[in-house]
Amino acid sequence: MKNKWSSLPLQGKISVIYIYANVMILIVNIILLMGINSMTKEIDKVYQGNLHLNEVSEALSGVQDSMTSYLSVKTTDSLENYYRNEQIYREMVQELNGKVTGAGFDRMERNIQNMSERYLEAVNQTVEAKRGRNVEKYRVRYENATQLYQYISTYINSLNNEQFKHNTENYTELSETFKYFEFVSILIMFFVIIGNVGLIIKLAGDIVSPLKHLAGQADEVAKGNFEIELSEVGTQDEIGIVTGAFNQMVTSIRKYIETIRQSMEVERALKEKELMMEAHLKDAQLKYLQAQINPHFLFNTLNAGAQLAMMEGADRTYQYVQNMAEFFRYNVKKGEETVSISEEIELVDNYIYILNVRFSGDIHFEKKIDETLLHVPMPSMILQPIVENCVNHGIREMAGEGKIVLSVYRIDDVACISIKDNGVGMSEETIRKVLSGTYREEEMAAGSNGIGMDNVIGRLKLFTESEDVMTIVSEGENKGTEVIIYLQIKEREEEDV
């Protein structure tokens, strides 16, 4: 039943409620009307007895009159009349109550019945005597019959009177009851209507409440709050359909918002990365510009110096100046590009050469390179600052011959570039600080090109999009330091392709 109810369309539901309420009122009305009807019948019955008695009285008069008429004129008509009236009266009298009861009416009816029998007998005898022309007899019998007639008349009249009195009392009582009944009827109607109204309010509320809830939710959504609890679809009517559709809509909107939010986040991250890269680059460039005030000019002049040395036959000078020029040119040219490992190694070569000239060749530079990895791309200005750090912090502060080993090798699909010195080494804490970028050395030391380790690490991270770009290994004091850079080969290659 409940399922049927909930699957009814809205129109059906409203109709059912309306019909239900009306049918209830109709039923009660019919019941009350039936009550009133039977009450009216009772009231009608009150005077029926009187009516009947009047008929009896008339029939009695009919008998008496027709007898008198026959006695005086003796026509066939009057005789027929008499027989007819006698028959009617006899039948009527038969209907009367013949029992003796405590009720006065019943006894009176009984007496009327008995007297009537005697009367009819007397009348019959009178008529017979008249027919037999027995004048003496019929006169006496006539008087006898007339006397009985008068008694019966009196009895009927009295009975009628008594009944009327009684009926009037009954009538009064009945009409009072009727009033009471009316009052009760109104009361019942009132209760039924209250019940009905309650029912209608309840049912209408039940129908409308999901709509109200839906409206509230729609309002929330309109205000921009999508985090509402979705209402259950309880019914299969129009409201249920609308609720379902609304729920679907809210869910979809939530999903879209989530998608948009995610893509925006990705975009934001990308942008951030870009910006950071740019910022780091700018930082590096600025440092270069600070350090090499006019590399072009410097490198041109150096070139001019190399030409001069060649013309003068000073080959070593030429070589030196040429290397310096190469070094600076690399700086100028590759400042903002992605380069290959080989190019970076070339720069390191130049740098070492310069240093060796400067410090009269006390740095031994050794290379162990896997040739297949030379084309692997990497950001520029990475290896040189590391080597510079090795020289400045590792080798220069030690006694004896400094040694730097540069190895490029492959572990799976990662290209590893290791720069190892035999210098003073680094403490664990320093390594941690350097890797986390919190180590701020007294930069701008003599001979530095100004690019710090944090810059190098930052750029590597941005380039490889991975946190795991560098490890620094030092086995302890005076046992040297090894810096290893990890570059993902595959991705680079794919990108190249």
> Across-strand partners of 365?
404
- 45 HSE (CA, 13 A, CB side): 8
CB nearer other proteins, residue 129 or residue 148: 148
Closest CB 98 distance from other proteins, rounded Å? 10
| Binding window for other proteins (CB under 8 A); candidates: 27-35, 213-221, 412-420, 438-446 | 27-35
Number of residues that bind other proteins (CB under 8 A): 51
Question: Is residue 124 part of the contact set for other proteins (CB under 8 A)?
Answer: no
Q: Token digits for 64?
A: 């008496």
CB of 110 or CB of 375, closer to other proteins: 110
Structure tokens at 406: 């540069």
Distance of alpha carbon 210 from alpha carbon 231, whole angstroms: 8
Residues 6+ apart with CB under 8 A from 421: 390, 391, 394, 395, 402, 403, 404, 405, 480, 481, 482
Q: Which residues contact 396 (CB under 8 A, 6 or more apart)?
A: 402, 423
Among 15, 87, 94, 101, binds other proteins (CB under 8 A): 101
Taking each helix axis from N to C end, the angle separating 104-131 and 48-73, rounded to the nearest 10 degrees, works out to 20
Residue 130 CB, shortest distance to other proteins, in Å, is 22
Q: In the set 174, 347, 381, 487, which binds other proteins (CB under 8 A)?
A: 174
- Applying CB under 8 A, the span of 21-29, 392-400, 417-425, 455-463 interacting with other proteins comes to 21-29
3-class secondary structure, 67? helix
Select 158 or 436, whichever has its Cβ closest to other proteins.
158
Cβ at position 42, least distance to other proteins in Å: 6
Does 8 contact other proteins by CB under 8 A? no
Angle at 151 between CA 148 and CA 157, to 5 degrees: 140
As measured in angstroms, the least distance from the Cβ of 114 to other proteins is 4
- Binding mask 129-158 vs other proteins (x if CB under 8 A, - otherwise)? ------------------xx--x--xx-xx
Q: Which stretch binds other proteins (CB under 8 A): 63-71, 77-85, 94-102, 268-276?
A: 94-102
User: Is residue 3 within the footprint of other proteins (CB under 8 A)?
Assistant: no
- The only residue of 12, 132, 234, 476 in contact with other proteins, by rule CB under 8 A: 234
Does the footprint of other proteins cover residue 107 (CB under 8 A)?
A: yes
Taking the C-alpha atoms of residue 44 and residue 54, their distance in angstroms, rounded to an integer, is: 16
Residues 89-117: b if buried by 16+ CB within 10 A, e if exposed: beebbeebeeeeeeeeeeebbbbbbebbe
Among 99, 133, 316, 440, the residue binding other proteins under the rule CB under 8 A is 99
Nearest to 227 by CA among 261, 251, 259: 251
Identify which of residues 151 and 409 has a Cβ nearer to other proteins in the complex. Answer: 151
Per CB under 8 A, does 339 bind other proteins? no
DSSP 149-199: HHHHHHHHHHHHHHHHHHHHHHHHHHHHHHHHHHHHHHHHHHHHHHHHHHH
Which token pair is 429?
A: 């804490």
Site for other proteins in 30-59 (CB under 8 A): 31, 35, 38-39, 42
Q: Does 191 bind other proteins (CB under 8 A)?
A: yes
Kindly state the tokens that stand for 428: 């664990």
Sites of contact with other proteins (CB under 8 A)? 2, 24, 27-28, 31, 35, 38-39, 42, 99-104, 107-108, 110-111, 114-115, 118-119, 147-148, 151, 154-155, 157-159, 161-162, 166, 170, 173-174, 177, 181, 184, 188, 191-192, 195-196, 198-199, 202-203, 206, 234
